[in-house]
Structure 1
């Protein structure tokens, strides 16, 4: 799987996340919209053949995505960046544990 293609997917979704965050009024809750967009991004990345390690590498280094490099370094977006990365880790953790549990069930059942 091409890392550049995966970065393009992430860049596209992250730009949507940034738009959600900037359009949200002060104090408006927008976390659910961000989490939904992160989930859509991961689904698209998996469909493109990405493995969890690929996803972690890209989200761990969002600054290398040309589309969003200058934006993620702005101080006002750092909390958003942290929220996105944590949600990615959470979703990957659930995915990996679900597959581990399926393997255990196959061996037990």
Structure 2
């Protein structure tokens, strides 16, 4: 599948997560909505054919400002994207550990995914 599709999926979820952040900034309780949205993003990307390295690459690119643009990313947006990247790293790590432990216990490989 195209890297552009993965970026489009991540872009949509980034906008949703930015709205959650705005809600939190107004003092409303958001709980773990950011992690939940990141998890949903990963699931959708996997359904589109993304592998863990593809997902990491997309979120690495999201964290960096565009090279074609001279507009500086606000500190708040930059912090939010870094937080999203940490959630991605954590969720993918947990999935990979689960996969390894399942493989060790059953001696057969199961497919990657949160499903």
TM over 0.5: yes
Whether 1:105 and 2:105 are equivalent positions in the alignment is yes
Higher share of residues assigned helix: 1
Give 5+ residue unaligned stretches, structure 1: none
Which fold has the larger relative contact order, with Cα–Cα distance below 8 Å and residues 6 or more apart in sequence?
A: 1
Q: How far apart in 1 are the matches of 2:71 and 2:41?
A: 18
User: What displacement does 1:25 show?
Assistant: 3.4
Secondary structure, aligned partner of 1:49: coil
Aligned CA RMSD, in angstroms, stands at 2.7
Partners of 2:43 and 2:63 in 1: how far apart?
A: 21
TM-score normalised according to structure 1 size:
0.83
Aligned residues: 106
Distance 1:30 1:103, change over 3 A: same
In structure 2, what is the Cα distance between the partners aligned to 1:55 and 1:45?
7
The answer (yes or no) to whether the contact 2:65–2:72 under 8 Å persists in 1 is no
Match of 1:53 in 2: 53
Shift of 1:62: 0.8
Runs of 4+ that moved beyond 4 A: 26-29, 63-66, 69-72
Structure 2: runs of 5+ lacking an equivalent: 108-115
> Residues 72, 31 of structure 1: CA spacing in aligned structure 2 closer, same or farther, 3 A cutoff?
farther
